A and B are shown apart, each in its own frame.
Chain A
Amino acid sequence: MSSTEQGTSSAAPAEPTTAPESAAAPEVPESFYYVHGKDKVVHKVSAGALQHSALIHGMISNLGYTEEQAKANPFPFENIDGDILQMVVDWCNQHKGKPTPPEDTNLPKQKEKLFDLVLAVNYLEIKELLTYCCKQVAMMVKGKSPEEIREIWMIPTDAEDEAAEKEAKKRAGKEAAGETAAAAGDAK
């Protein structure tokens, strides 16, 4: 389980790694860390690029995750698809040590990818990229009617929600009743 690996590796005592300056001076070698997503493909990312992610940056700087430990145990993000993680890594590399522009036209236009990206970026706590993604998501429904928004963002209506809730309650009730009956049968 990725979370266990994460816990073990992060608990290991080590000297705190200070994050290098984003525009690294040539004489100071840049540190690199490794991440992988659901597809287990490992991506090598510089510490400067990873500074965009508050989550990873926090892990590196607070838990003292050294480069050697990182190489042996890449940060596992099992909940992020490989192609989405690749996008995030690319974005972080592109914007390493640069001021972020007000618009980013390289974000995916397909809604499925975009929502996956939002989830991943939100999880990795990359504030600037989350802002771009949110703007892009908002643009998807510009000029659209409520029905169209529902369709684009796959939002159920209140009636559908209520029906699903009722159905879930019914199912839960039946399951509970079944368990009670089974327990009573066992007792007999």
Chain B
Amino acid sequence: MFDFLEFLEFLVFFGVSIFIGQFLKKQIFLEKSLLAGPKMASWNQLSVETKQEVIQYLDLMSRNAMKSVSRLDREIVNSVDFYVPRVRLSSSKPEGSTAKSGYTESNYLIHIYTGIEKFLRVEIVTEKNGVMVYRMENTYNRSEGVSKAIPTIDSFPLAIKILKSLFTHPSITLGALEFELDDLPVPQQQSNAGYIIRYLDGEMFRTKTLITNYCTNPEFDMMIFHNILDLDVIEEIRNDGIRWDTEWLHPKKMSDFTLPSNAETEGPLAEAQKLVHVPSYESHIWLADNRAHQFDALAERARQRGGFATIRFHNDELWVQQKHPIEQINEYVQVKRIAVPPCPYVIRWNKSKCGYWTHMTTLEYEEKCLDYFKNEKCGLRYLCKNCTDPFQYWFYQQLPRRFIHEPKWAKNGLNSEYTEEEKQEILQKMTEQLAKDEKKNKKKENGEKKKAVKSWGFRKSLYPKPAPKFIPGVDFDDIESLVKQRKAFKVNMDFKTFKVNKTSWIHESEIPSYAMDVSEPCEEYTKALLDALDGLILRRNSIEN
């Protein structure tokens, strides 16, 4: 007969035996490894799990350094996930350049935000025979960083290749990937997107947010969205802009348009929205208190574009002035809803413990967004210190300073109504304001700077090398010798002959598959494309080799 107690006893004995077995196995393994290895404990004696835990605490550049230590360590690094809050690619045309100069002559900046008040900057500046690469950590001052000359290479492919090498591995997730490129005609933007896709060579970024600004058009956004982003990771697309002002150095208000992913509307933003499965936002950040209350204009634009417009972080006076019944729509939010037919708009004034915000939309669209409105706990987005991620809050608080710290690169300013002189005046006032702010925090900053250890690749060498000089670049006039060395191709393009540096070529036949997947190719496009890619397009039948 089955004896339950005996069975229980057996189970206990069995469990204890396994435990002891595992303990002995572990001890024997450890003793063996200690005997087998060198007397002094070292990295190689750690278990893979412990190594992974150590890797988890490495910063971005130490991870990269570790990848070059050995094959095994590279595999271990690649097995540990890493999060980078934000990465930005900016372009800046050198002075005196024309639209025809295209992207190849531009300078590029890769700005990597690794945490609050922590960032790495890689500036790639086009020079006569190649590029200068400046690397800085937690500073905008080139003299505090390191620089290197790289001959016979173009800035753009180099910038994309750097991004590819740093951020396209599946273990890396980006909080936001921002493109802050020059305001170029649509075809040139498309060709730029084509080049980005080409140079990434099938690799993808795993980013939660794609951010562009008013300079880029929806076609560029869509090409980037569909070709270089992991669609399982992306959560939203944002188009950010800032209205400069001298009143404050941090965002005071935000007005924006939101298109939920189920939007069925018309307008430029909606056109783009049809092609994606995530919500799109278009935000204007205001640095002044008194200029953002353009309710009528915003409501009208919301009607035209679809979705809804929102003003965030306005003061309580506006809430108090609305003499309408208060509705508690959820645990956190009270609403005053105003809809006065025949006016087609609905204005929803919201209040929570975090602050005040107002949604404006059409009667028809309100119904579609009702669930969204009802579930909203805080409508202040990344301006709310309590509800947003600390990095996001810090980032947007210091975003306006971009115009002061890096005026050549910043392109998300929306003050097109100002003349250049007026802009300089505003900039001057902002700089003065910043100087006052920084004076207060000077002691603290100095203390932190002394402590910080610079990342690999961003610290000055202990054995300073002579100032970087360009080694003689490729002599393009000696085309025969270059062809022999396979460093260049001679290209016959209609009436001209171009000599092309091999490092940056792209074949004409490859362009349509990359650059024309959104717009139909047309004559204008082809002309602009040829202008943009002057000297870089190879015609298949005319390569002399």
By a beta-carbon cutoff of 8 Å, the part of chain A in contact with chain B is 2-3, 6-7, 10-11, 55, 58-59, 62-63, 78-79, 112, 115-116, 118-119, 122-123, 130-131, 134-135, 137-139, 141-146, 149-150, 153-158, 161
A–B pairs, 13, beta carbons within 8 Å:
A3-B24, A6-B24, A10-B23, A59-B23, A119-B45, A134-B57, A138-B55, A142-B58, A145-B456, A154-B38, A155-B69, A155-B70, A156-B70
In the bound assembly, the distance between CA atoms of A134 and B54 in angstroms comes to 5
Residue-wise, chain B 105-131 has the 8 Å CB interface mask toward A (1 for contact) of: 000000000000000000000000000
Which residues of A lie under 8 Å from residue B19 when comparing CB positions?
58, 62-63
User: Is B70 a contact of A116 with CB atoms below 8 Å?
Assistant: no
Interface contact A115-B65, CB-CB below 8 Å: no
Chain A residues in 8 Å Cβ range of B455: 142-143
Q: Kindly state whether residue B143 has any CB partner on chain A within 8 Å.
A: no
CA distance A122 to B20 in the complex (A): 18
Residues in A whose Cβ lies below 8 Å from that of B34: 79
B residues with a Cβ closer than 8 A to A are 16, 19-20, 23-24, 26-28, 30-31, 34, 38, 40-47, 50, 53-59, 61-62, 65-66, 68-71, 73, 453-456, 459
For A122, the chain B residues whose CB sits under 8 A away are: 46-47, 50
Q: Is the CB of B66 within 8 A of A146?
A: yes
Contact between chains at A130 and B59 (CB < 8 Å): no
On whether the beta carbons of B20 and A10 are closer than 8 Å, the reply is: yes
Give complex CA distance A58, B15 in Å.
13
CB atoms of B73 and A138 under 8 A apart: no
Closest residue of chain B to A143 (Cβ to Cβ) is B453
B314, chain A: closest CB distance, angstroms: 38
**Contact yes or no, A79 B30, CB < 8 A:** yes
* CB atoms of A142 and B453 under 8 A apart: yes
A23 to chain B, nearest CB (A): 29
Q: How far is the CB of B202 from chain A (nearest CB, A)?
A: 27
What CA separation (Å) do A145 and B19 show in the bound complex?
43
Name which residue of chain A comes closest to B33, CB basis.
A119
CB of B69 within 8 A of CB of A146, answer yes
Query: In the complex, what's the smallest C-beta–C-beta distance from B36 to chain A, in angstroms?
Result: 11
Partner of B62 from A3, A6, A134, A138 at Cβ < 8 Å? A138
Q: Across the interface, name the chain B residue whose C-beta is closest to A131.
A: B53
Nearest-Cβ distance from residue B26 to partner chain A, whole angstroms? 7
Top 7 A-B pairs ranked by shortest CB distance? A115-B41, A153-B43, A138-B57, A146-B68, A154-B42, A143-B453, A134-B53
Tell me the minimal C-beta distance from A39 to chain B in angstroms.
15
Residue of A7, A118, A145 touching B65 (CB-CB under 8 A):
A145
Pair A115/B46 contact, Cβ less than 8 Å = yes
Q: How far is the CB of B452 from chain A (nearest CB, A)?
A: 9
Could you say which of B28, B43, B54, B57 contacts A155, with CB atoms under 8 Å apart? B43
Given the contacts A146-B68, A161-B70, A79 and B16 also touching, CB distance less than 8 Å: no
State the Cβ distance, B372 to closest chain A Cβ, in Å: 37
Supply 4 further A-B pairs (C-beta < 8 A) apart from A6-B20, A134-B54, A161-B70: A130-B50, A131-B53, A138-B62, A155-B43
Task: State the main secondary structure of chain B at its contact with A.
Answer: helix
Contact B62 A7 (CB under 8 A): no
Contact of B45 among A115, A139, A149 (CB under 8 A): A115
Which residue of the partner chain A has the closest CB to B74? Answer: A158
CB-based contact A144/B62 at 8 Å = yes
User: Chain A nearest CB: distance from B535 CB in Å?
Assistant: 37
Residue of B nearest to A10 (CB): B20
- Whole-angstrom CA separation of A144 from B459 in the bound complex: 9
Across the interface, which residues of A come within 8 angstroms of B53, CB to CB? 130-131, 134
Q: Is the CB of B70 within 8 A of A158?
A: yes
Q: What's the Cα separation between A144 and B66 when bound, in Å?
A: 9
Q: Which residues of A sit under 8 angstroms from B28, Cβ to Cβ?
A: 3
Which residues of chain A come closer than 8 Å to B66, judged between CB atoms?
141, 146, 149
Min distance, Cβ B472 to any Cβ of chain A, angstroms: 28
Given contact pairs A130-B50, A141-B58, A146-B66, A7 touches B20 in the complex (Cβ within 8 A)? yes
Residues of A within 8 A of B27 (CB): 2-3, 6, 79
Q: A10-B20, A79-B27, A143-B454 are in contact. Are A154 and B50 (CB under 8 A)?
A: no
Across the interface, which residues of B come within 8 angstroms of A135, CB to CB? 57
By a CB distance below 8 angstroms, the chain B residues around A158 are 70-71
Verify B20–A11 contact, CB threshold 8 A.
yes
In contact, A149 and B69 (Cβ under 8 angstroms): yes
| Residues on B with beta carbons closer than 8 Å to the beta carbon of A130 | 50, 53
Tell me, in angstroms, the Cα distance from A2 to B57 when the chains sit together: 35
Write the chain A residue with the least CB distance to B67.
A146
Residues of A close to B31: CB separation below 8 A: 78-79
Give complex CA distance A115, B55 in Å. 15
Residue from B26, B40, B43, B71 in contact with A123 in the complex, judged by beta carbons closer than 8 Å: B26
- Check A142–B62 contact: CB distance below 8 A: yes
- Closest residue of chain A to B24 (Cβ to Cβ) is A3
Pick from A62, A116, A134, A155: contact of B41, CB under 8 Å: A116
> Which residue, of B59, B68, B69, B455, has the highest number of chain A Cβ atoms within 10 A?
B69
List residues of chain A with CB within 8 A of the CB of B69: 146, 149-150, 155
| Shortest Cβ distance from residue B337 to the other chain A in the assembled complex, whole angstroms | 46
For residue B233, give the distance in angstroms from its CB to the closest CB of chain A.
26
Q: How far is the CB of B468 from chain A (nearest CB, A)?
A: 18
Q: How far, in angstroms, from A91 to B349 measured CA to CA in the complex?
A: 56
When C-beta atoms are compared, the residue in chain A nearest to B71 turns out to be A158
CB distance from B166 to the nearest CB of A (A): 16
A123 — which chain B residues lie within 8 A by C-beta?
26, 30
